[in-house]
């Protein structure tokens, strides 16, 4: 196990803040949301075992989870703009013609029924059918460097056709049903349009019929 001293940790924290403020911060409408967003990211990277609103709030020194929850539900920020800015930074910093795009999905276990796209479905996280959301993700890797550069939420057919549930979950009208393979294709096409260099695409067997 690698041992990191305090000086290195402080340097990493400064670099994270610099990256966040330059690449992510401009996509928040208000400074308060921008600051909360950085605290939220730091919480996700911390050793806190459970990454819910209460624990992340406690990690940042807040008395209640309200501020952290507003980052996701109330703050006005451009999620797609952040995605594009991060991808552009990865392209300029690590992009290489031998880079690899990695497509995979993961499940987020849920107890309720209101979260967008939640239903009983197979979750790779649990290794079985569970009440969950499923996201399809695109990562970029070159040599020892790797990071996420895109994401899509899988919206099951039942959800896509249920206008009441869609409205309650704030799902845009422009979002329609798409298979996981089609979601992967959308992300790869965005990556191509952004002129991200890569030589290979890697994916789980369920994406084997996707043609790039």
pLDDT by 10-residue block (mean), the chain, 212 residues: 78 92 92 89 86 84 84 84 96 96 93 92 88 96 95 96 94 93 95 96 76 52
| pLDDT for res 1 | 58
Q: Output the 3-class SS for 123-179.
A: ECCCCEEEEEEEEEEEEEEECCEEEEEEEEECCCHHHHCCHHHHHHCCCCCCCCCCC
Rg (CA), the chain: 18
What pTM was estimated for this model as a whole? 0.86
Q: E strand or H helix at 194, and its extent?
A: none
What per-residue confidence (pLDDT) applies to 24? 93
pLDDT score at 55: 86
Tell me what pLDDT residue 191 has: 97
Predicted local confidence at residue 206, as pLDDT: 75
Q: According to the model, what pLDDT value does residue 209 have?
A: 57
């Amino acid at each position: 196990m690698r041992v990191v001293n305090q000086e290195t940790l402080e340097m990493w924290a400064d670099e994270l803040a610099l990256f966040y403020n330059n690449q992510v911060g401009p996509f928040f409408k208000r400074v308060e949301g921008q600051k909360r967003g950085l605290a939220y990211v730091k919480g996700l990277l911390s050793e806190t075992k459970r990454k819910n609103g209460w624990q992340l709030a406690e990690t940042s020194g807040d008395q209640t989870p309200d501020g952290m929850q507003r980052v996701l539900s109330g703050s006005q920020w451009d999620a797609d703009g952040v995605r594009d800015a991060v991808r552009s930074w990865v392209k300029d910093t690590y992009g290489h013609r031998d880079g690899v795009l990695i497509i995979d999905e993961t499940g987020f276990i849920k107890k309720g029924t209101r979260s967008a796209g939640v239903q009983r479905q197979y979750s790779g996280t649990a290794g079985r059918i569970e009440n969950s959301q499923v996201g399809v993700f695109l990562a970029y890797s070159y040599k020892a460097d790797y990071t996420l550069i895109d994401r899509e939420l899988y919206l099951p057919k039942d959800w896509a056709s249920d206008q009441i549930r869609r409205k309650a979950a704030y799902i845009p009208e422009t979002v329609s049903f798409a298979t996981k393979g089609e979601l992967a294709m959308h992300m790869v096409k965005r990556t191509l349009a952004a002129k991200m260099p890569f030589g290979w695409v890697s994916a789980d067997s369920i994406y084997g019929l996707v043609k790039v």
